[in-house]
Structure 1
């Protein structure tokens, strides 16, 4: 599940919670793509996520190519996934939603 709202300076903030895998990532992809179509910066608040697999990681990398994507407040499992794959060196990962929402 996810929620979208406007952040500071027309930054789109999408909140994701729960688990994301090949079977559940579709609606999130649609929300991210819609936000990217109308906002220069898209923040994905992952603080309430409990799991993300390679499908989720592929979505992040895809969105990174089409918009200024910021990942906010990743929990331990997502931090580990990003670190092990080296994606933390490519993606803009911020420790808090507040920091990610700044211009």
Structure 2
């Protein structure tokens, strides 16, 4: 696994974001719980990433909880640039499936698969 090259952003609620380049894609790795109170560091990271990089991968393997705030962010980010969601947790995958978001987003099993797709 690649070593992050950018500092971690931490929300007051404990959610964290790390960013790094991997196989030609910019990876934003999210950790923790995401809701309306903790989404800001991830939203800022994704907004900057899609503005500055042609391919962005959200490593969602560390997301322990997600609600509509994260789904909304993913849809808005997808509309702004080339976003791929990698390794979503079971809870996030189910949320995307129930809401139909999985038919809109590009989802891959691993960061490697997302980076090269």
TM-score (norm 1): 0.96
Aligned pair partner of 1:77 in 91, 98, 106: 91
Q: How many correspondences in the alignment? A: 102
Q: Does 1:4 align with 2:19?
A: yes
CA distance in 2, matches of 1:2, 1:47: 12
C-alpha RMSD of the superposition:
0.7
The equivalent residue for 2:38 is 24
Q: List runs of 5+ in structure 2 lacking aligned partners.
A: 1-15
CA distance in 1, matches of 2:102, 2:35: 19
CA distance in 2, matches of 1:44, 1:81: 16
Query: Cα distance, 1:8 vs. partner?
Result: 1.1
CA distance in 1, matches of 2:78, 2:85: 10
Higher relative contact order (CA 8 A, sep 6+): 1
Higher helix share: 1
Query: Cα distance, 1:83 vs. partner?
Result: 0.1
Larger Rg: 2
The equivalent residue for 1:65 is 79
